[in-house]
Structure 1
Amino acid sequence: MPFLIETFDAPERSHIRRERYQEHLDFLAEQADLLLACGAKLSDDGASADGGIYLVNVETRDEAESFIARDPFMQGNLFRDVVVQRWRKAYLGGESFL
């Protein structure tokens, strides 16, 4: 069953997002087979990010936690908080899983 991972940036460490951005994108490309969806949470004007959401197709919480632990943003200590929660697909890409 998939997991939702929600991250919250520490404002005083926003420079880490810029410094590690390409490493983060490379990591996501390497893990693409596990990603149902992911992306940054943006300000209303779209000018800045302050966290992200990942929907990962893994079987256990340990796998989800291992996934986010390998993210260069996590390794760079960008996040002030990370929430990992089991997620049930009801609709994805317009398709019903009910």
Structure 2
Amino acid sequence: MIFVFHLLDKPDSAALRNEIRPAHKAYLAQVADRMAFAGPLLSDDGKTMIGSLLAIDFASREAAEQWQADEPFTRAGVYASGSVLPFANLWPQKAGFPPAE
């Protein structure tokens, strides 16, 4: 089942986010074959990262929550809040997902 992770950063955590980002990306790479989408949430300026939105296939909620608990941004204290929810994609994707960088 796909689980969506909606995670918001703590205020003033930009420096910590940048420091931990390589470990975060390496951790995401471990589940790349099960990832529907992933990327930063942005402020209204379209540039400043303020959180993360991920959709990843896991066998159970427990597995998804354990993955999140071990995620580098979580472990470093970047996130102020977050939720993990089951997700069903019922709409064919036509826009909004440019090629990954």
- Structure 1 residues 24 and 92: CA distance shift in structure 2, 3 A: farther
Q: 1:42 is matched with which residue?
A: 42
Question: How many correspondences in the alignment?
Answer: 94
The gaps in structure 2 that reach 5 residues or longer are 95-101
Q: 1:80 is matched with which residue?
A: 80
Secondary structure of the equivalent of 2:15? Answer: helix
Question: 1:61-80, aligned counterparts within 5 Å?
Answer: 61-80=61-80
Q: Report the identity percentage.
A: 27
The gaps in structure 1 that reach 5 residues or longer are none
TM-score (norm 1): 0.86
Query: C-alpha separation between the residues in 1 aligned to 2:49 and 2:66?
Result: 23
Q: Which amino acid aligns with 2:43?
A: S
> Aligned-pair RMSD on alpha carbons?
1.4
More off after superposition, 29-38 vs 75-84: 29-38
